[in-house]
A = this chain, B = another copy of it.
Amino acid sequence: MFAYFKKYLAERITLNEQDYSLIESVSVIKKLRKRQYLLQEGDVWRFNAFVCEGFLRTYFVDDKGVEHIMNFAIENHWSGDRESLTSEQPSKYNIDALEDSVIVLIKKNDFDMLCKAIPVFNDFVNNILQKRFVVMQERIHANITFSAEEKYHNFISKFPSIANRVPQHMIASYLGISAETISRIRKHALQK
């Protein structure tokens, strides 16, 4: 199972066998059934999580009991709650599996150790952080600029691999619009 993570790394950075051994020594494989929680609101999140296979979602529940999706993470992407991780405070979020999944967990301290021990790994991680930043910025851009229709079309063109793996109402939740509106937007688009 660690092979997934190793492959991911090998395709992106150059590490020697010693590095891989070190990484593997602190990696914990976890399998999740569909609907199973990885993190529940109120718990402290203490890991970095790499998705080998499957599909996770991060969401929170508002005062009215409505779920809002903060993030999706498909295979070869990272999940977790960075806020809880750094503050060491209970998380506001839930993370669960939308499909059966296999993930690699690395404890915060171990992860920091890896970053110190393997400079290339550190640079790589920082690079991912930068990219994540840009993605969030673009999401904010879309949020404050686009109509519901534009938000939807922007999303499916930008994240087709997510869009055709989740039910529509989750896309709606991610975008902050109602499921019915998405349905109507699609109907509209078909009529052309």
- Which residues of chain B come closer than 8 Å to A68, judged between CB atoms? 141, 144-145
Distance of A71 from chain B, by nearest CB (Å): 9
Are A130 and B70 neighbours in the complex by a CB distance under 8 Å? no
- Which residues of chain B come closer than 8 Å to A176, judged between CB atoms? 143-145
- Which residues of chain B come closer than 8 Å to A70, judged between CB atoms? 137, 140-141
Are B82 and A134 neighbours in the complex by a CB distance under 8 Å? yes
Q: Whose C-beta in chain B lies nearest to the C-beta of A174?
A: B144
Beyond the given pairs A62-B145, A68-B141, 12 more chain A to chain B contacts, judged by CB atoms under 8 angstroms and listed by A's residue number, are A68-B144, A70-B141, A82-B130, A82-B133, A83-B137, A86-B130, A87-B134, A136-B136, A139-B140, A140-B143, A144-B173, A144-B176
Residues in chain A within 8 A of chain B (CB atoms): 60, 62, 68, 70, 82-83, 86-87, 126, 129-130, 132-134, 136-137, 139-141, 143-145, 173-176
User: Can you offer 9 A-B residue contacts whose CB atoms are under 8 A?
Assistant: A70-B141, A82-B134, A87-B134, A126-B126, A129-B129, A133-B136, A140-B143, A144-B173, A144-B176
